[in-house]
Chains A and B, each alone.
Chain A
Amino acid sequence: MKRFSKLAVPYIIWAALMLVLPMALIAMYSVMEPGNSIISFSLTLDHYIKFFTDPDFLLILWRSLLIAIKTTIICLILGYPAAYFIARSSEKVQNILILCITIPMWINMLVRTYAWIGLLSEGGIIQRILGIFGLGDVELLYTEGSVLLGMVYNFLPFMILQIQTSLSKMDHSLLEASADLGASPAQTFRRVTLPLSLPGVINGITLVFLPAVSSFFIPKLLGGGQYFLIGNMIENQFITVGEWNFGSAISMIMAVIMMLLMMLVRKIETRNQGGKGAKA
């Protein structure tokens, strides 16, 4: 099939232009003095210094990471049992359930998030239901809770689908082998099912954590104006403040942090896989 290798050439050029160059531009803008054009520019690390010396910015970053971590943990806690349940169902039920979970994903994320505004707002259905239990005064919208809810709502399906895939790919005879060797169902779960579903869990974590850290419309829609995350900060720099260089620097910082975190997670994964060269 060697003769087809030429077919890749156009795409390589395209990818260089549309995928690599933009990243290079962000990196470049992040070290440029404001107002410089790309033909003549002077380098500066001011933007990075500005970010890292300001405790407020760092706090925002920390809070963004924290809420993403919370989202990921909640998705994991809710998603794993759901995925486990789906994977243990008959094939027909599995297909139906997966369809049930994927259909909402086909509907615009923003639209679905928008719907939560009405549900959570004061006097809305949820508050009225809570009111029955005497919790009517609890403020729901524009709180950290509502942002968390929006994120879990939007990203939970990714977690479920990833874990479910890895669980249903698992050879059933491994579970039998474990039982055969004397492991009770609980032990089998802990020693075989869980470690073997780890690649799915890792993928799920990636797919939840990544958008959760950088999301800006969920906090904006459900968190109100005072709920500011790193994504909002970047949006702000580009859309309202117009300091692209600083915005690019924040983007770079975020991209690098993400990359490091993902590498860390993968490392944990490979360590857990025991031995070298484990295949996912």
Chain B
Amino acid sequence: MKKKRRTLGKALMILMIAFFYLPILYMIIFSFNDGKSLTSFTGFSLRWYQHMLESQDMMTALYTTFSIAILATIVATVVGTVAAIGLSSSRKVIRNIMEQVNNLPMMNPEIVTAIGFMLLFITFKVEKGYVTMLLAHIAFCIPYVMLSVMPKIRSLDPNLADAAMDLGATPFKALTKVIVPQITPGIVSGALIAFTMSVDDFIISYFVTGSGVKNLSIVVYTMSKRVNPSINAVSTLVVVIITIVLLVINLAPVIAEKRVKKGGAVKRKRWVPAVAVCCVLVVAVAALQRGGITGKDRPFEGQTLHIYNWGEYTGENIIGDFEEETGATVVMENFDSNEQMYIKVANGEAYDILVPSDYMIQRLIEEDYLQKLDKSKLDCFDKLSDAVLGLPYDPNNDYSVPYFWGTVGIVYDKTKVDIEDLEREGYNIFLDQKYRGDVYLYDSERDSFMMALKALGYSMNTENEAELNEAYEWLVQCVETMDTEIVTDEIIDNMAQGRKALGLIYSGDASYVMAENEDMGYFMPETGTNLWSDAMVIPKNAKNPDLAHAFINYASDYDGAYDNSSYVGYTSANQEVMDDLSGEGGDYEGINAYIPRTGNENDEVFEYNADTKKIISDLWSRVKIAASNAG
């Protein structure tokens, strides 16, 4: 009976440990996968490690993660210990109040704490970045340190300090020679907790960061929408680092003990090796990260360019090449949506280049966030396709230089979807019960409403509330009856894998999907679509407009534009690049999605209207909630 229960417990334990380690094991294995797939292992390779080492983003993130963790741990441990000693001798009222205050970050949902920090920094106009992240980390780590130091202090003999001072120690000596050694175990475990919390933190970092400073969590979060096995590689690296640290912590005392037995008196300080290892790691990562070329005589040597761009929107080499050529450092920050970008810009965060979409550019111009381009510094306009120049949002291209352009359409699996259905129904195929459970919607308020409005035969720039409401009803019907999944960039890989039959998609993503899977097709309903373009602009508060202009030239030039378009799959604004890629032998030969449709009178370009924007925004979040509640 007893034995049986024991075996049952053992089985449970084994299963549970398997559960805990399965994802980690999986991650490690797939970091060596030759292919890009996350599901099938196609062969051993180190390419993702190479990719990771080349990726500035990841190495910087690794450095940021560990340097912040170490700094925050050190500061939090010192401050926390001193504060705990101070508080333990303070009056009870103060002690109780502070206990409650310390509970705030621990007993509050983390997101609330994070928002608190964010509002704090915004309200007092502290520029968000490394320092704010560090401050926030210190702030939430200190309570944990105090929590683990306090009980140790409480169990101290209260006369200890007095005894030390009675014997002639100064208060400082009494503190460092008597009190601190007594509570060292508490301090060490507090420091370990602080370190773990800091390394592991995502939510708080996510809300308080800025200026392109990212830790590993943020990188994973922003990259996770597209399959990127480098995440596995960098995660494996973290696993290795942590394992080494843990091994050192656990083995060092054993080794030290052996040495003691041999005769030498070695103090058992578990944390010394751990800290040493961490420091070595940070230095190593920092070296890896900084160890680049240090050539001279380049025009922008030592300067920094802050770009705020869509995620996965640049080629593999363009940034590196640009840095090499100019000597500048590029800090790239990514956004998911124009709105996300707008909020940061409106908040006064300084970037040198933004890559917003048409209607957002219009809004930024209207709200006076952009500076006019210095056309004398630009040599790119004649290389660009006429179709993307002089569009209504910026008729004379005074503010913007097109980057990518394209359409929105339906990606479909030719083996599952009858092309006749598509041609007959257009966007209304998203209400066709035949395809129930087999459709993706894209999480973009404008394009979802574009689809609904076009399906209903209205203009996508309508200001008529009745029409908008009708579109809302259309979308609600869609999410409620079609068992849809609302996705963002996951659609790219999922459609490339043929997981669903239909999806609303950007033409550039469709190009990529079709290049990966030839069963896939791209269809633009006759009722019209969104002819969009994303363009590079320079905000008013840009710190380095000259460098920004240089980058605009670089990205519009053949090499840069080719790299971008070939890697990302979006249609280049550079006419020559577009022709080459879609032409014979080009990456996107025969892929209709790559060439934007021209000449359909129902196609429109988005215009910005603050009122409709607000209505659409609100209605779309309701659609999402309806979808969520329907599921």
Contact = CB atoms under 8 A, between A and B. Distances in A.
A122 B38 contact: no
B123 A238 contact: no
Interface in B60-108: 79-80, 82-83, 85-91, 94, 98, 101-102, 104-105, 107-108
B255 interface: no
Interface in A19-33: 19-23, 25-26, 29
Contacts of B235: 107-108, 111, 114-115
B247 to A, nearest CB: 10
Contact of A121 (B39, B115, B119): B39
A10 B94 CA distance: 13
B479 A226 contact: yes
B109 A18 contact: no
Contacts, number: 305
A122 B499 contact: yes
B109 A210 contact: yes
A100 interface: yes
A11 B631 contact: no
B94 A106 contact: no
Contacts of B39: 118, 121-125
A86 B577 CA distance: 63
Given A22-B119, A119-B22, A221-B224, A11 B83 contact: yes
A113 B221 CA distance: 10
A105 interface: yes
Interface stretch (B7-15, B278-286, B387-395, B546-554): B7-15
Nearest to A25: B119
Contacts of A213: 109
Interface string B241-261: 011001000100000000000
Contact of B119 (A26, A210, A211, A259): A26
> Which residue among B30, B91, B135, B220 has the maximum number of chain A CB atoms within 10 Å of its CB?
B220
A251 interface: yes
B46 interface: no
Contact of A22 (B27, B116, B239, B499): B116
Nearest to B8: A81
Contact of B12 (A81, A227, A236, A251): A81
Contacts of A224: 485-487, 490
> Which residue among A117, A217, A240 has the maximum number of chain B CB atoms within 10 Å of its CB?
A240
Interface of B: 9-10, 12-13, 16-17, 19-24, 26-27, 30, 38-40, 79-80, 82-83, 85-91, 94, 98, 101-102, 104-105, 107-113, 115-120, 123, 135-136, 139, 142-143, 158, 160-162, 171, 175, 196, 199-200, 202-203, 207, 216-217, 220-221, 224, 231-232, 235, 238-239, 242-243, 246, 250, 336-337, 339-340, 342-343, 346, 441, 443, 479, 484-488, 490, 494, 497, 499, 617, 621-622, 624-629, 631
Given A22-B117, A106-B242, A224-B485, 9 more contacts: A3-B171, A111-B220, A114-B27, A117-B224, A143-B631, A225-B485, A238-B118, A239-B343, A258-B109
Q: Which 4 A-B pairs rank lowest in CB-CB distance, beginning with the nearest?
A: A22-B116, A8-B86, A7-B86, A214-B109
